[in-house]
Structure 1
Amino acid sequence: MTTPYELSPQQHDAVSALDGPQRYQHFIARIADTQVVYGLRTEEGWVSACDDAGAEGMPVWPHPAYALACAAGEWADGTPAAIDVFDFADDWLPAMSAQAVNAIVFPTAAMSGVLVEAAKLGEDLEEALTKY
């Protein structure tokens, strides 16, 4: 895994302010490039969230600083943790899909993330990885 890229406060704020589809595209491009994805872990395991219908999702980010910005409220004990992008694509996403767990891509501190089926995220990620 590569080290996270440099992220200035201005870049953090600008990317966080993008709308959902733009953050999703940024996420895909960055994790394909850096070959690492980040989640939040607590002592109990990886953080997750449920939508109003009860569908479970796992939040993921392209950089630990974005994850850390969301470590508040129910996720206050969360610490950013790296996942190798190939493990994520080959193992995590299929397992999430089999368990009907969605990905919550790049939620912001306001908790607005892009809800994506794990299989769809896997397809988009595989396509992006072929470019690297």
Structure 2
Amino acid sequence: MSTPLTEQEMNAIEQYDEQQRFNYLLKQAITNQEIWILTDEHGCVMLNSEDEDCVPVWPNQEFAQSWATNEWQDCQAQAITLDKWLSHWSPGLEEDELAVVVFPNQAEEGLVIYPYELESELKHRLKKK
């Protein structure tokens, strides 16, 4: 379980560029053994990039929940254990031909990658741990 972030920490991290947010998510996922998504009564929320349907993922509850506004106001942040992400989510997203948008900020900017790319980075960092 991660230590809650202060508003000041969240504001500073929000200013990271896409690559810095990607690295932050990887570090937090390895440390806390979880990845966060938003869900509603229909399941996981989705974003659309120019080319892909994407599942947004966040490094912790605070960032995921900060997206639960406007049309997503009824959504809840949900943790997925890293083991479950690697064993079920990553292959399932690949099978459904969905991409992942890594730690989108409030300006809706985030690195769009394929699930196997996120899985590969996570496994690489787990080995180094």
TM-score range with shorter-chain normalisation?
A: over 0.9
Match of 2:81 in 1: 84
CA RMSD of aligned residues (A): 1.2
Distance in 1 separating the partners of 2:68 and 2:118: 23
User: Structure 1 regions of 5+ residues with no counterpart?
Assistant: none
- Quote the residue 2:125 is aligned against: 128
The Cα of 1:72 is off from its aligned counterpart by 2.1
Aligned AA (2:28): R
State the shift of 1:43 in Å: 1.2
Specify the SS of the correspondent of 1:130. helix
CA distances 1:57-84 after superposition (whole Å, capped 9, x unpaired): 1000011100111112332221100100
TM-score (norm 1): 0.91
Q: Is the 8 A contact 2:4 2:62 kept in 1?
A: no
Moved over 6 A (4+): none
**Cα offset, 1:110, TM superposition:** 1.7
Q: Tell me, which stretches of 5 or more residues in structure 2 are unaligned? A: none
TM-score of the superposition, structure 2-length normalised? 0.93
Contact 2:37 2:44 in 1 (8 A): yes
Alignment of 1:1-132 (within 5 A): 3-53=1-51, 55-132=52-129
Aligned counterparts of 2:119 and 2:39: Cα–Cα separation in 1 = 21
Structure-2 separation of matches of 1:32 and 1:79: 22
For these two proteins, the number of residue pairs brought into alignment is 129
Moved more, 65-74 or 17-26: 65-74
Determine if contact 2:61/2:77 at 8 Å carries over to the other structure: yes
State which drifts further: 44-53 or 19-28: 44-53
Q: Distance in 2 between matches of 1:122 and 1:13?
A: 27
